[in-house]
Structure 1
Amino acid sequence: MNTAIMIVVVLTVIGCIFGLILAYVNKKFAMEVNPLVEKVEDVLPKGQCGGCGFAGCRAYAEAVVEDEKVPPNLCVPGKAAVAEQVAKLTGKSAPAIEPRVAHIRCAGDCTKAVRKYEYKGIKDCVAANLLQGGPKACQYGCLGFGTCVKNCPFGAMAMGSKGLPIIDVDRCTGCGTCVKVCPKQVIGFRLIGSKVMVNCNSKDKGGAVRKNCSVGCLGCGLCMKNCPYDNIKVEDHLARVLDHHVCVEKCSESACLAKCPTGAIKAIVNGTDLQEQSKKEAAANV
């Protein structure tokens, strides 16, 4: 009995000693936290998306407070409102940021794109891409397994019934998480207010595109030739709009839409992406 009591006493004493040592070390080597960091972190949206280029909101808060070279407008999800608050807290100036949203540069859903084999593996785009680039004949097209949807920190994406992601522009912050996780680099950005978008990502020549997808860009250049403002350019057999401000501010005809033989160029209607599925379907699938 006495032995048991002694063991308990000894262990208690040892525990107290170690506790005192740890308390001393903690106090001795403690780093003072700038209270301004806490205030800046509180105004950030906490999406931990990394769109600012730092490893989460805390890391950005520390950087923008402690490094005078780090601007206060790097929080893309927070947009202008957060940039203004961070600027006010840190005493820095916040240049205006044009709001952007993600855009799926592919219209080749399961009814329009050809498949080269039947995929039975893990329902993940990264995994599917490891097997001969995925089941889609077009090596540049959306694989449709929803890796972007699963990784969106703001719940702004859903899979449509035809195998393409749909973006809810009211929720999308333009943080870029979906862009980073897409193995095909199908997802890009567009400015809010964009009038037309090229819904294709293929760099193949026209013949190969037509063989693989009925709505792919053929690189024919008709859109470029008929644009009255020289605002479309074909590079690597793929058309792209050079400056969306020109479309919004000057163009009223959108001749490129009428001339595109496959409909690869689509109009942006009421601020929503025209991807054959409606935003209502996206909400139903969330």
Structure 2
Amino acid sequence: MSTTTPHADPLPSTPAWTVGDLTVRRVDEVHLPPRTGPWLLPGATPEIVADLPWLQPEFVDEQRVLRLASHSFAVEANGLRVLVDTGIGNGKQRANPAWDNLNSDYLARLTEAGFTPETVDLVVLTHLHTDHVGWNTRADGASWVPTFPNARYLTTRAEWDYWAGVDMDEARRQMFRDSVHPIKEAGLLDVLDVPSGGADIAPGLRLRPTPGHTPGQVAVELSSHGESALITGDCIHHPVQLAHPDLGSCVDIDPAAAARTRQELLSSLSGTPTLLLGSHFPPPTAGHVVPEGDTYRLVPAS
């Protein structure tokens, strides 16, 4: 990963989108440093980016380097207050220098969005990677305690069973010790079987399996009154992958499965009114998938 700290460009006020009666808010944590893109998606070379003028200026910088961000999505759904993924977290020892002992104003932004930690009902973890589980917990003296004490935290059984059986390196074991095991020990973690056709978790909220990046990763589908949106998780890291669905991440556990998942997902969304919300897309973050020759592009939504 990058050896530089996240850059300090100002983050915008909390943006929101409506999906029928549902409201989705992006809660920013931090812009990821410029070297993240070449590390994470090494196939997204400046030459490939240059052939995709629609990526500029929002999704790539002047040097044709990918812009990426860390954020959560806070969803109000039929009286339920749901947080999708919890970012990197503050004050945690991480092997990645860009994430090590982060000090962001994420909780203030979450509160600004109207989601004080005590009011969150459900935390959906699209997968158990370090930059998606960090705010599961917060420091309380020398201990890590659940940030959202009244919430159920949800992950899939395929995801849980994979990490329970794999030989993890010390950096990942540390992440589980400070960000995953404390919520399990507090009795707040639910492990859900999600069949290939998906699983409803609440009215208007559905988990859609998107394996490849990790075995049990899911996207989150939102629907209300004929409108729909999809939160990607890491099955799509950046809009460049719409034009090149075979372009994978260096941390995909099964790159071939990840590419198949991405192609199937984009094909199902292409030309539809479904709003795509990228878990690492920089502002404007949301858009619609439209066909572009044999592949796709993203048309940003307001």
Q: Give TM class, smaller chain.
A: under 0.3
Q: Which has the larger radius of gyration?
A: 1
TM-score of the pair, normalised by structure 2: 0.23
Q: From the two aligned structures, give the one with the greater helix fraction.
A: 1
